[in-house]
Amino acid sequence: MGKYEVLAKRIVKEVGGAENINALTHCITRLRFKLKDESKANDQAFENMDGVVRLIKSGGQYQVVIGNHVGNVYADVVRFAGLDGDSTDTQTETKGIFNKLIDIISGCFQPIIAPLCAVGMIKGLNSLLLFFELYTNTSGTYIILNAIGDSLFYFMPIIIGYSASKKFGLHPIVGMIIGATLCYPAIQANTLKAGEPIGQLFTGSMFQNDYFLDFVGIPFMANNYTSSVVPVIVVVALASKVQNLGKRFIPEIIQNFFVPFFTLLVSLPIGLLVIGPIIVLLTNALGDAFMNLLAFSPIIYGAVIGFVWQVLVIFGLHWALIPLALIQLGDTGVTTIIVSMFAASFAQTAVVAAMYFKLKDKKLKDLCIPAVISGICGITEPAIYGITLPKKKPFIYSMIAASIGGVIIAVMNVEAYNMGGMGIFGVVRFINPTTGSPWYMYVVLLAIAVSMIIGFVLTFFFWKDDTVVAQEPETKSVKNEKVISPIAGSVLQLNEISDPAFESLGNGVVIMPEEGKVYAPFDGTIATLFPTKHAIGIVSDNGMELLIHVGIDTVELDGKHFEAFVKQGDAVKQGDLLLEFDMKAIEEAGYTLVSPIVITNTNAYKNINLVKADKVAKQELLFDALV
């Protein structure tokens, strides 16, 4: 239970319940809700709520002012409201196509990381017991454990349909129906049906594909989407747009039934006729490209396969190579097509192990151990989607390490004699069943060891976790404190600004800056610095907790026009430069520069003497606080 869970439950209840929350972020002092219907929120309840300073409604946001510990309250609100961490804590929009793609994929997987770890460990346990011949793959024990471990992966479109719908704002059950339709047995039966097809698409080209079904006379490829990821995410994204369109023209009185009806009727045929087949065509094209590369240079092929394998898995494009490997195995009794990827899961696992020692977020750190166990057993989805991919650099390090392992395997012309076994239990597939020679297995074990060492070393020595983790200010014995003005400019009173929340946080003043610089007002430690850089919390060596907030609502600038010279946790000396900001650009963007400077632990002092002058320079006395 979180420290602020009781408060979080009350806040969620009084804003109209979790179902009334469209989005939630937080800045340095307040929770910022975007509600579906503000009339459902109970404004009065916040007036006397313990733990809430005040309520402000501004700029389309329902702002609940908390104070310094807003990050901790935010975490419990997210947990209790079931927001699955979809909301961010920095008010920043993900920029760039690559970053948005990662944000979408990791956001869709984040809610299911723990269950992914669990079923991965069960699959590993089952493989281990089978390897030691404690039972056979026809026994009831194996079948039941395999079903438990395999069900989430097999029905992945349904699970992702749910989590992706929350990411895109689609009704979650509609998202699950989309996923279930992609897994529907009748479609899969037609995909696998033997005999003469009804017809062919793209006859004579590399995109040739038999079709068995048509929709209102339009032929389409009946593909197998079980265990896939990308098709359902794309269809859910489309469905969210269709749902919003439906809400615009369908009368409100019948929306409950006809919006899902309209959404499914439009998005799923497009998904099955267009989106899914396009992804399959891309997969086929990719398979041809890899086969050409293999013919050109097995070593380059090994390096490329090792490097990109995890990316192929993310997008489901690895299915372009697995059928080719199966065909080769059936024709020759051995396969070399995908053996170069074997070190990839171990490289990923070693990177996660290194991240365990460097992560600041305890919740994420706690996921590392089960992800490592799952990864050793060959299930890396929890590691990829929940840990390395969102951090980007560690994921790239794992790709580099896997590429080197792939080269080792390719150089030694390693052959696999079956397609069974995952992770550490899969190394036995490289033992020659005719001669009993374990030579290729030894090569693969060497590649695994090299990849793991490189992945661990790169991550441990070259990756730095820059995550800002909200923390409670360190409790210090409070002593008398003199505060030198951190900003030069004209002095106003807190009650003279348009945002009354700051006056509720404690005693202080407001400064209209004359220059765009913020200096340390005393010797102390940076307690809070948001990525938006518009505000900074600092605790003095004498125990004063001071908030310096540049401008009003400047959090909405997403860090534009601000530059920080310190980071959270840094020790600073009085007069050190903390921030710079572009005054002209901020004002041209429509924001006022009046900057509140507030003692947030005002109650710790018996007397606070504020400056009487109308203006202060950067080294002049601003407060004199006495205990």
Contact assessment for residue 552 and residue 498, using Cβ atoms and an 8 Å cutoff: yes
Contact assessment for residue 431 and residue 437, using Cβ atoms and an 8 Å cutoff: yes
Cα 321 from Cα 284, distance rounded (Å) = 9
Of these residues, 27, 117, 183, 377, which one is catalytic? 27
27 is catalytic: yes
Q: Which structure tokens are listed for 444?
A: 């693969």
230-249 helix and 97-109 helix, angle to the nearest 10 degrees: 90
DSSP 411: H
Contact assessment for residue 508 and residue 494, using Cβ atoms and an 8 Å cutoff: yes
Residue (of 357, 355, 349) closest to 391 by Cα position: 355
Alpha-carbon distances, residue 137 vs 130, 141, 420 (angstroms): 7, 9, 12
Residue (of 406, 399, 407, 404) closest to 459 by Cα position: 399
DSSP 215: E
Q: Helix (H, G, I), strand (E, B), or coil: what is residue 96?
A: coil
Cα torsion through 456, 382, 310, 170, rounded to 10: -140
Residue (of 414, 276, 402, 421) closest to 345 by Cα position: 402
Cα 443 from Cα 453, distance rounded (Å) = 15
Lookup result for tokens 């947990």:
79
Cα 155 from Cα 472, distance rounded (Å) = 42
Cα 102 from Cα 314, distance rounded (Å) = 10
Helix (H) or strand (E) holding 623: strand 621-626
Cα 503 from Cα 489, distance rounded (Å) = 20
CA 399, 402, 408, 410 dihedral sign is negative
Q: Helix (H, G, I), strand (E, B), or coil: what is residue 428?
A: helix
Query: Which are the catalytic amino acids?
Result: 27
